[in-house]
Amino acid sequence: RLVSKDGRCNIEFGNVEQSRFVFLLDIWTTILDLRWRYKMTIFISAFLGSWFLFGLLWYVVAYIHKDLPEFNPSINHTPCVENINGLTSAFLFSLETQVTIGYGFRCVTEQCATAIFLLIFQSILGVIINSFMCGAILAKISRSKNRAKTITFSKNAVISKRGGKLCLLIRVANLRKSLLIGSHIYGKLLKTTITPEGETIILDQVNIEFIVDAGNENLFFISPLTIYHIIDKNSPFFHMAAETILQQDFELVVFLDGTVEATSATCQVRTSYIPEEVLWGYRFAPIVSKTKEGKYRVDFQNFSK
């Protein structure tokens, strides 16, 4: 199938002529799309690399100014940075400078303009690195893709009569009490078609209109909804029957778009159904009931039954 049950797209790109450099131009999106293990590797490497690089620069400043113990500085000698005795102490000073720890043991003096410039440059660059990497982590955590995982579709679609009309029905539920604002549900039927000119079109897309009793726009998505597609003469399912549906070659992809109430970010949830997952002549079991205390209870054990 093109779209898995959890919404991931089964497709790969080959022989792309575009240079990979264009992905570096949009480094923000590239970082956000990375998997967590690669993102954390970049996160740690960015900080450790900058600390070590500036540690080397601080060591060079101390070496040029002859502040290190091997030069046997005089008692009246004023170093550029107090208490830098080697590469390790230079690294520790770089770390303290960039993350603004400020232990007070090592500090810059007014002896060297180079050291003052390096301090300012590292402080500014440290703020940029910290803002970018922490922002990337926060954006990754709060992506609407994670909110989509709490929207679930029924394992199967069913075909039965509803309101005297033959319909294809799918059940969808919001597992959180927070709503999706402005939700909209639609579908695409993917199949291979042959044009009158003899051209074979793989993954030809046909629009599938779904209806919800509460209306297609601005769904009150607090409890599970049953969406349905009316099988009439304009429907691609019109020429199918219970005996022939398993012989068909199609994939029904269902989309749910909405805005996350908590973050105002747009969210899309996807799933798909192949002929073996469309059951003809079935109905969904009821799952909403009312308790003695007056609350409405949703039994998700029967969600896909």
Q: pLDDT digit string (tens) for 20-57?
A: 677 777 788 888 888 889 999 999 999 999 999 999 99
pLDDT for the residue numbered 52: 97
pLDDT for the residue numbered 19: 66
Cα 130 vs. chain centroid, distance in angstroms? 21
179 vs 73: which has the higher pLDDT: 73
| Residue 3 reports pLDDT greater than 80 | yes
Q: What is the mean pLDDT of the chain?
A: 87
pLDDT for the residue numbered 150: 84
Q: How far is the C-alpha of 258 from the C-alpha of 237, rounded, in Å?
A: 27
Domains assigned to the chain: 18-142 (1.10.287.70), 146-302 (2.60.40.1400)
Q: Which of 24-38, 230-244, 246-260 has the lowest mean pLDDT?
A: 24-38
Predicted TM-score (pTM) of this structure? 0.70
In the block, tokens 């500085």 appear at 73
> Within 10 Å of residue 151's Cβ, how many Cβ atoms?
22
pLDDT for the residue numbered 92: 94
pLDDT-derived band at 194, boundaries 50, 70, 90: confident
| Residue 215 reports pLDDT greater than 60 | no
Q: How far is the C-alpha of 258 from the C-alpha of 173, rounded, in Å?
A: 13
pLDDT for the residue numbered 213: 65
Crossing angle, helix 36-64 and helix 87-98, to 10 degrees? Answer: 120
pLDDT for the residue numbered 124: 95
pLDDT-derived band at 281, boundaries 50, 70, 90: very high
Range of 25-39, 141-155, 202-216, 265-279 with top mean pLDDT: 265-279
Residues 190, 250: contact at Cβ < 8 Å?
yes
pLDDT mean over 99-122:
90
Q: How far is the C-alpha of 262 from the C-alpha of 68, rounded, in Å?
A: 56
- The 10s digit of each residue's pLDDT in 132-184 is 999 988 888 877 677 778 888 999 999 999 888 999 999 998 888 777 887 88
pLDDT-derived band at 274, boundaries 50, 70, 90: very high
Long-range contacts of residues 89-92, Cβ cutoff 8 Å, at least 24 apart: 90/55, 90/56, 90/58, 90/59, 90/62, 91/51, 91/52, 91/55, 92/55
pLDDT-derived band at 217, boundaries 50, 70, 90: low
Please, which residues have CB within 8 angstroms of residue 89's CB and are 6 or more apart in sequence? 83, 106
| Residue 216 reports pLDDT greater than 70 | no
| Residue 88 reports pLDDT greater than 60 | yes
pLDDT for the residue numbered 90: 94
| Residue 285 reports pLDDT greater than 60 | yes
Please, which residues have CB within 8 angstroms of residue 144's CB and are 6 or more apart in sequence? 260, 263, 265, 266, 267, 268
